[in-house]
Structure 1
Amino acid sequence: MTSPPGVEPADLGDVLHARGLRLTPQRRRVLETVRALGHAGADDVAEHLAAQPGSGPVDPSTVYRALAVLEEVGLVARTQLDRRVPVFHAVEHGGHLHLVCDGCGEVAEADPGPAHTMAADILSRNDFAVDTGHLALRGRCARCRQPQ
């Protein structure tokens, strides 16, 4: 299991304990699943967990609660890639822009550098701080822009 910078798997319990929380088996499994899937909605996480050998049905409310706690302590981040449900990714996945194709639904990643420049401009002009760590840009990929 990959860990956030400076946090080894054995220390995850300490990270949670420092916030007055426990590292439960469900929280560990949800975090491991988010790390394995890259970008995943809560339902995707529940389905992945339920499909694991020796695992039975997973209560979606358990997954939602675990994701909320992991987000609160900074181990996962939420991004709204489409107009339906948010997806989560592990924070050590790094900063990136999400490029969402409105044609096929493909999600690609891009360097966040230009977004930082845009965010600085918006801050100076509008006194509004843009969260570039959770930014999804919608458009059409090269394949979907090709004439039919």
Structure 2
Amino acid sequence: MGMNVGPGSGSSEPEVMMDINTTPLIDVMLVLLIMLIITIPSQLHSVNLDMPVNTNAAKKSEPVVIKVNIEENNAINWNGKVLGSRAELAQAVADAAAMNPQPEVHIRSHAKAKYDAAAAVMAAAQRGGLVKLGIVGSEQFAN
């Protein structure tokens, strides 16, 4: 009986392996297959619809709007009525604050009116407890 001690060619270099090691490739393919199976969403045989609920709620009414115009000469118009003093302004604000629901106050100022008049209206509205306050017509000040 003989024993194989080394390479048969007599040289000290090992033989070159000509086959590809396919084990890592198979492992990667299996991992990718498992990830694909997990990430595919399951098929649903029903369609979920969010249907509107029938409510018999009353339609909301339009809010009451008080229009405050500040003229070129700093006169304050409260819904078309000229207010002569700050006391009349405070009384008009108090009357509006007592309304239920509170009205919206839209302030429109003339381009040449002083800021003092607009600030007085806003301060009176804040002191009187009005919370729905808006400034309209500010596009005239864009230029």
TM-score bucket (shorter structure): under 0.3
TM-score, normalized by length of structure 1? 0.24
Which structure's CA Rg is the greater one? Answer: 2
TM norm structure 2: 0.24
Higher relative helix content? 1
